Amino acid sequence: MAYDYIIVGGGPAGCVLANRLSADPSLKILLLEAGGGDWNPLFRMPAGFARMTKGVASWGWSTTPQKHLDGRVVSFTQAKIIGGGSSINAQLYTRGNAKDYDAWASDAGCKGWSYREVLPYFIKSEDNQRLVNAYHGYGGPMGVSYPINPPPISFAFLRAAQELGIPFNDDFNGAAQAGIGHYQLSTRNAERSSASSAFLKPIRGRKNLTVRLNAQVVKVEVEKGRAVGVTVARGNEMETLRADREVIVSCGAIGSPSLLQRSGIGPADALRSVGVSVVHDLPWVGANLQDHLDLYVIAECTGDHTYDRVARLHRTVWAGVQYLLFKTGPVTSTLFETGGFWYADKEARSPDIQFHLGLGTGIEAGVAHMKNPGVTLNSAFLRPRSRGTVRLASADPKAAPLIDPNYWADPYDRACAFKGLGLAREILRQPAMKRFVLAERMPGDNVKTEEELAQYAYRSCKTDYHPVGTCAMGAGPEAVVMPDLRLRGIEGLRVVDASVMPFLPSCNTAAPTFMVAEKAADMILGKPPLEAAKV
Ligand SMILES: Cc1cc2nc3c(=O)[nH]c(=O)nc-3n(C[C@H](O)[C@H](O)[C@H](O)COP(=O)(O)OP(=O)(O)OC[C@H]3O[C@@H](n4cnc5c(N)ncnc54)[C@H](O)[C@@H]3O)c2cc1C
C-alpha cells in the first residue's frame, strides 16, 4: 500500500505532523515509531518522570568518553516510545528567548523563523489553563498549566533568589524571560499532556492515518535523487513502504542524523568508514550537535520538606492512592516545577543560565541518594559554544550511535557553567532557605578551588536531554535542510524535529520542537504562514 506521507518517528514532531497532515482526509498518512505504546499509567502521572530517565522507554544510549570532562561517559537518555521525549520528560514548558529565534533568522538565514513569525505557532498548540494574551492562548491540543500545589520549600527558593537580586517572573514565556518563578508545565488536570495524548489520542478514529508501533525504520529509500519510501524492520524481516509525496524524518536530534547516515546521506568519508554506500554526500549531517550540560547542588534539608519523604514504600503507596482517588498529592508534581533564568555572563544578550529546583534527590539517573531528605538545584549554561557530532558506530541499525556532544570544548562554556553553579550555591545559602536547608552536601563546603570544582563537575555533570542542531536548517553551506525543512539535494525528503534547530534555544526543548512541527505542517500542506505576532 502506498501512502502520501510517511512520517518516521512518533515523538513531539512526528505526532504533531500526524495530526495536522491527516486533518486533510484526502491524504494518506503513515506514522512509524520504533518504540511501543504509552499504556502504562506512569506515563500519565506527572511524577512518573522520575522513573523514566532511568531507562524505561528509552534507547539506553550514552555519550562517547568526553575529552573535556576527563573522559567521563555521560548517560544520554532519549525516548523510544510513542510521544517520544514528551512521554518521558519533566514536562517543563519553556519557549526560550525572543532573541533565540531572531538569531535563527538573522545569523543562520532561516527566513520566516524570527520570534514574531514563530510565536503564533507556539500559541497554536497551546491550551493554557490560565493565560490568554499576546503570548498565550487556549483551545489547542496541548494542556499547559502551572504546578498544582508546590511545597513551601519552593516558595522559600523564590524568596531566596530574590534576596540574591533575581526578580520574580510569573511567565517565562511572556514579555520577559529573566527571573525566578514557577514553570508552566505541559500538563492538564494533573496529567501529562504528551504529544501522544494531546495530538494522537483525540484523532484515533481518522481512517486516513495509520500509526505503527515497534516499527524501526532502518533506511530511507532513494531512487534517482528522490526519497520514495522507507524500509522497516519487523523482527528479522524487512518491509519496504512507499511514499508518493514525501518521507518526513522526525527521529529526534540523535535518531534523525543516524537514520540519514544509515541511508547513505551524510559525510561521505564517515559513511565509507563504517561500510555504508554513499547516496548523497552531505557533510553537515550529524555535525553541529549542541546540548545543555547540567551541574547541580544538593543540600540536606532540616526536615521532610521535599518528596524524598515519599520514597518509603508505605508513603509511595499512599501517594499513588491519593493521586488515583483525588488527583492530589506528590504524584501531581513533575518534581522540577520551580526555577528560572539568569545571567552567568553579565554581557550576555539574554539570560544564559537556567535553574531547575528538584524537589528531592536521586530523582534522575546518576544522582546518588542521600540518607536524609534533600533538595537539588540544577544549573545549566544555555548557549554553549561547543559543537559535537552524531556518527554511526557501524552500519548495523541495532548498534548505538556515537554521540559526542564535545561538552566544554570551548572554555567559555565551562567558565559560564561554573558561574551558574556558583549562583545556585549562593541561592541555597540565602536567609530565606535557613528554615529548610541544613547544609550543602554536594559539591560540599570543602569544594572551593577551580580544580576541586572541575573534579566535582567531571564526576557529577549530567545532560538536560536537549540535543539539537544535527540536521540544522539555514541558507548557508552548513545547512542540512533549507528553511522549508527540505533536505538539500534530495527531493521528497524533509527533516522535522529538534535536529533542525540551528542554535539551541535558551530553554528546555520540547515546546520549541512542537512549534517547529506546527510550522512545518503548514509548509508541507502549502498553507500560507500564520500572521506574524505584533509583540
Ligand atoms: C528524560 C528527558 C527529560 C526531558 N525534559 C524536558 C522537559 O522537562 N521540558 C522540555 O521542554 N524538554 C525536555 N526534554 C527534551 C524534549 O523532550 C525533546 O526536546 C523533544 O522530545 C524532542 O522531540 P523530537 O520530536 O525532536 O524527538 P524525540 O522526542 O526524540 O522523538 C523521536 C522519536 O522517534 C523515534 N525514532 C527514532 N529513530 C527511529 C527510527 N529509525 N524509526 C522509527 N522511529 C524512530 C524515537 O523512538 C522517538 O520516539 C527532555 C528529554 C528527555 C529525554
**Atom of ligand 1 lying closest to residue 82 CA:** 49
Radius of gyration, alpha carbons of the chain: 22
Q: Which of 77, 92, 289, 513 to mutate to test the pocket of ligand 1 (most atoms within 8 A of CB)?
A: 513
Q: Say whether pLDDT at 53 is over 70.
A: no
As a whole number of angstroms, the distance between CA 311 and CA 8 comes to 38
Alpha-carbon separation of residue 370 from 68, 363, 379, 485 (angstroms):
28, 11, 20, 46
Q: Are 250 and 517 in contact (CB under 8 A)?
A: yes
As a whole number of angstroms, the distance between CA 118 and CA 514 comes to 11
pLDDT bin (cut points 50, 70, 90) of residue 370 is: low
Mean pLDDT of 231-235: 88
Mean pLDDT of 123-147: 98
Most distant CA pair in the chain, distance: 69
pLDDT bin (cut points 50, 70, 90) of residue 38 is: very high
Q: Say whether pLDDT at 7 is over 90.
A: yes
Peptide bond into 443 cis (omega under 30): yes
Q: Write the residue with the smallest CA distance to atom 3 of ligand 1.
A: 89
Q: Are 282 and 481 in contact (CB under 8 A)?
A: no
> Mean pLDDT, the chain, as a whole number?
95
Active site residue 292: no
Q: How high is the pLDDT of residue 315? A: 85
Residue 177's contacts (CB-CB under 8 Å, 6 or more residues apart) are: 96, 97, 98, 169, 341, 350, 351, 506, 507
Mean pLDDT of 467-482: 97
- Work out whether strand 237-249 and strand 2-8 pair parallel, antiparallel, or are unpaired: parallel
Mean pLDDT of 47-70: 87
User: Using a 6 Å CB cutoff, which residues line ligand 1?
Assistant: 8-13, 32-35, 53, 77-81, 84-86, 88-92, 216-217, 250-252, 255, 259, 465-466, 497-498, 508-511, 513
Q: How high is the pLDDT of residue 365? A: 44
Q: Which helix (H) or strand (E) holds 454?
A: helix 450-460
Q: How high is the pLDDT of residue 90? A: 94
Q: Say whether pLDDT at 27 is over 70.
A: yes
Classify residue 329 as left (phi > 0), alpha (psi -120 to 50) or beta: left
State the DSSP string of 380-431.
EESS----BEEE-S-S-TTSPPEEE--TTSSHHHHHHHHHHHHHHHHHHTSG
Among 183-187, 368-372, 432-436, the range scoring the smallest mean pLDDT is: 368-372
pLDDT bin (cut points 50, 70, 90) of residue 366 is: very low
As a whole number of angstroms, the distance between CA 437 and CA 300 comes to 6
Q: 326 C-alpha vs ligand 1 centroid, how far in Å? A: 30
As a whole number of angstroms, the distance between CA 342 and CA 379 comes to 10
Q: 9 C-alpha vs ligand 1 centroid, how far in Å? A: 9
Q: Say whether pLDDT at 113 is over 60.
A: yes
253-312, pLDDT tens digit by residue?
Answer: 999 999 999 999 999 999 999 999 999 999 999 999 999 999 999 999 999 999 888 877
As a whole number of angstroms, the distance between CA 249 and CA 517 comes to 11
Indicate the residue type of 482: M
Q: Are 438 and 304 in contact (CB under 8 A)?
A: no
**Is residue 465 classed exposed, middle or buried when 0-12, 13-18 and 19+ CB atoms within 10 A define those classes?**
buried
Alpha-carbon separation of residue 296 from 166, 425, 513 (angstroms):
18, 9, 26
60-93, pLDDT tens digit by residue?
Answer: 999 999 999 999 999 999 999 999 999 999 999 9
Q: Which is more confident, 325 or 157?
A: 157
Indicate the residue type of 3: Y
Q: Write the residue with the smallest CA distance to atom 50 of ligand 1.
A: 89
Q: Which helix (H) or strand (E) holds 451?
A: helix 450-460
As a whole number of angstroms, the distance between CA 80 and CA 39 comes to 14
Mean pLDDT of 438-449: 93
